[in-house]
Amino acid sequence: MQTVTSADGTGIAYEQHGEGPPLLLLHGGSSPQYWKPIVPQFAENYTVIIPHRRGVGESGDSDEYSLDRGVEDVRAVIDAVDGNPILFGHSFGGLLALETARTTQIEKLIAYEPAVLVGEYREQANLATQMQERIDDGERREAMRYYIREVMHGGEIDDLDGWLAEWPPWPDIVALTENIARINRAIEGYRLPDTLEVDAPALMLTGTEGPSHLRDGVRAVHEALSDSRLIEFDGVGHAGPIEAPDRVLAEVRAFSNGKDISVPEGST
């Protein structure tokens, strides 16, 4: 584990695996362990760098948080590694990757269903408030259940308890409840510009079973970028990188190497 100092003096920890061109993996609302199942494959060809988001894992924290502060944390890690990295973010990590790429030199940008809210959904979004109300009532576990139902399942799932029983991060992820509530407040405050100035090619990824609001968001991001490819994985949900690792890895490797492979159904 290594540590860098972010712009406000907070220590940001990051893991490093393998050798090769730098590949930064930015986790979303879960912990950095989200990436664990696919790190060995990536580490065969890349120096895989996994920052721990502020307030999570081995990183330090601060009383105040904003999307800009999260971007500063990612930049601090980029400055500490050799070469321009490929940025690959999932969910909130995808939003961090996107905003970092607007102001920082990178090689390529990859995001799986970045946490970008658009249209009517954005105007009505109140997940952070709903979580905070439950936290204030001493119901941290219920706050996390509410978050998972909304973000992982688009608010619709018949047997959440049964699903959670099979989901590896549960119940440890309850420890991140307050942290996840605050990143959702940052997400709800973000407004996607009509045009995204990113001086790097981009690959946007989504799954047919992902929440509709995130599927809408990734398409809006794709349209706002000048150099972007969008790929949709049939039968895959929001946790695509660990639900269908072989399919996601194949597309990421092909994109990072500047090659085309067979285009999945729904790709553009």
pTM as predicted: 0.92
- Give the per-residue pLDDT at 260: 54
Domain coordinates in residue numbering, the chain: 2-121+194-256, 123-184
Best CA proximity match to 184, nearest among 239, 238, 146, 236: 146
Instruction: Flag residues of the chain having pLDDT under 70.
Output: 259-268
pLDDT in tens, 218-261: 999 999 999 999 999 999 999 899 899 999 999 999 998 886 54
Is domain 2-121+194-256 in CATH 3.40.50.1820, yes or no?
yes
Average pLDDT score, the chain: 92
